[in-house]
Amino acid sequence: MTISRDEVAHLARLSRLALGDAELDHLAGQLDAILSAVARVSEAAGEDVPPTSHPLPLVNVFRPDVTRPGLTAEQALAGAPVAEDGRFRVPRILDEDV
């Protein structure tokens, strides 16, 4: 399969890309090489080869979700350098009028 310069120009227009003549010629050759490589890969898979997402059999390695109790507000604030009204006190970084 070969891709023409006109097809590249059409794709560029659809993508809203402004490409010069030299770029269109250059990209036509590159896209042709890419499409040829994809075609070769497609030929390698036969009818008897099932589609897979990974060549090795994988299993889920995540641990099961288990609900555990979290920290209370007092426990969380116990390690804070400064707490005020049940919240962490931090330095102001924005002006009052922002």
State the fold for domain 5-44. Histone, subunit A (1.10.20)
Predicted TM-score (pTM) of the model is 0.42
Instruction: Convert the pLDDT of each residue in 56-94 to its tens digit.
Output: 887 877 888 899 999 999 999 998 999 999 999 998 888
Rounded CA-CA distance 26/7 in Å is 13
Give me the residue spans of the domains in the chain.
Answer: 5-44
Which residues contact residue 83 at a Cβ distance below 8 angstroms, ignoring those fewer than 6 apart? Answer: 77, 89
Percent helix, percent strand, percent coil in the chain, to nearest 5: 40, 5, 55
Of residues 8 and 95, more confidently modeled: 8
Confidence label for 40 from pLDDT (cuts 50, 70 and 90): confident
